[in-house]
Structures are given as C-alpha cells and as structure tokens.
Amino acid sequence: MDKLNIIVICGSTRENAASANVSQYLLETLTTKGVNAGLLDLHKANIPLWDEHAKTDEKIKERLNQADGFVFAIPEWHGMVPPAVKNLFYYFNKCFSHKPAFLIGVSAGTGGRYPLTEMRSSTYKNSFINYIPVSCVIDKVNDTFNDKGEFIAETDYIARRLNEGLSFLQEYAKGLRHVRQSDIFEKSEFANGM
Ligand SMILES: Cc1cc2nc3c(=O)[nH]c(=O)nc-3n(C[C@H](O)[C@H](O)[C@H](O)COP(=O)(O)O)c2cc1C
C-alpha cells in the first residue's frame, strides 16, 4: 500500500498562533509515524473570503485532492470556528469527500470544545468529510506547546491522546481509500447530502 498522505490544517489566521505550534508538533509526529505529512497554514495561505467570482487556488486544491486524510487544529474564537476554516469548505468542498479527519480544538484558556461540535454539525453535509469519533481538546495550549512546536506539558496526557488520535486516523485513512475506490463512490447519484 502506498504511503498515506495526511494534511494538517492550521485553522488560525493569526500570526504566531498557538494552533500553528500545535500543527508543527502534529506534522512531526505524523512524519515519525511513516506518513507523508503536509501543512496547510491558513495564516500563510491567506485565502480570500469566497464569493461567486473568487478564483480557486489550484495548488491548494491539488494538495487537498491528493490527501487521504486531514487533521484540523482549530482555535476557539468567540466560541466558534474561525471564518477561514468555514471558507475552506466553500472553495474545496469536494476535496474532502469520503476522507477521514481528526479534529483538535485549541484554547489558551479552558475552552476549545465548541470548534469540535461546530465542525461535526455543520461542515460534513455537502463535503462528505468523515470526522473520526476520536477528537482532542488542547486547553491551556501555551503550557502544552512552545513556539517551536515542542511538547512542554508537565504530564504526557495530551501527547498520548494526540498520538492515539493520529493512529486511529491512519487506520481510518487506509479503510476509506477502499470506499473511494468503490463503484458507489464513482457512480454516486447525489452530489449533496440531505
Ligand atoms: C477573536 C478571538 C476570539 C477568541 N475567543 C475565544 C473563546 O471563545 N474561547 C477560548 O477559549 N479562547 C478564545 N480566544 C483565545 C484563544 O484561545 C487563543 O488565541 C489561543 O491562542 C488559540 O488561538 P490561536 O491559535 O489563534 O493562537 C480568542 C482569540 C481570538 C483572537
């Protein structure tokens, strides 16, 4: 079986974001697990707000199309997902189709839960993305990762949870390749969910 391609999506558009530190750690961990891992940092990608005449970035589209799965490191902003994360689905909905994703909520305080429920309730219908049941919340993120993406927490609890989530993601990614190679994926009659 070919190596898995997994893209880590950093959902913050802030410079020096804590989610970028988490994403760096995830990228390195996936690489040590033998995965072809890449990063899409929504701060650096600077994708304009979608409108009907917006031009799609073909390089990003190609990268997302090549991916077997995704990890989303999403900060909680005003109890929500940042707009840039939702924006991604307006441009690239079909790149996520029948692929697994591991959701990670990030907070400098004691939040980080709302991005998980929002993504699970509002982004899958037309994209057909598969959020795996395992997710993770990293609260007090600045006590957990430094600005080099190094794990600095006093206990290894979050590192173990992330490791387990990434391992599950790898297995789901292998399984869902089978779905995307099936007849029903080719023939599928309904482009959007109900
Ligand atoms: C516009 C904005 C709104 C925020 N709202 C919340 C919030 O609702 N809950 C929370 O736990 N943290 C909130 N934070 C703080 C984030 O937890 C903090 O910025 C953290 O570092 C994660 O975001 P980052 O990846 O952009 O750094 C907010 C930050 C910003 C910039």
The domain locations on the chain are 5-187
Fold of the domain spanning 5-187: Rossmann fold (3.40.50)
Does the pLDDT value for residue 1 go beyond 90? no
Phi, psi for residue 77 in degrees, rounded to 5: -120, 120
For the chain, give the mean pLDDT.
97
- The residue behind tokens 């940092």 is 41
How does DSSP classify residue 54?
Answer: P
Mean local confidence (pLDDT), 102-117? 98
186: how many CB neighbours lie within 10 A of its CB?
8
Q: Is the CB of 76 under 6 A from ligand 1?
A: yes
Evaluate whether 110 touches 144 at the Cβ level (below 8 Å): no
Evaluate whether 96 touches 128 at the Cβ level (below 8 Å): yes
Residues 6+ apart with CB under 8 A from 166: 26, 29, 30, 33, 71, 102
Evaluate whether 106 touches 19 at the Cβ level (below 8 Å): yes
User: What pLDDT sits at residue 48?
Assistant: 98
Structural element, H or E, at residue 28: helix 18-32
Mean local confidence (pLDDT), 131-148? 98
Cα 76 to averaged position of ligand 1 atoms, centre (Å): 5
Mean local confidence (pLDDT), 7-16? 98
- The residue behind tokens 């990670």 is 104
Which ligand 1 atom minimizes the distance to the CA of 73?
A: 25
Q: What percent of the chain has pLDDT over 70?
A: 100
- Could you read off the pLDDT of 155-188 as tens digits, one per residue? 999 999 999 999 999 999 999 999 999 999 999 9
Give dist(CA 16, CA 95) in Å, integer: 28
Give dist(CA 31, CA 35) in Å, integer: 5
Does the pLDDT value for residue 73 go beyond 90? yes
Mean local confidence (pLDDT), 113-121? 98
Cα 111 to averaged position of ligand 1 atoms, centre (Å): 8
Determine the residue type at 83: P
Instruction: Give nearest CA residue, ligand 1 atom 29.
Output: 77
Q: What percent of the chain has pLDDT over 90?
A: 99
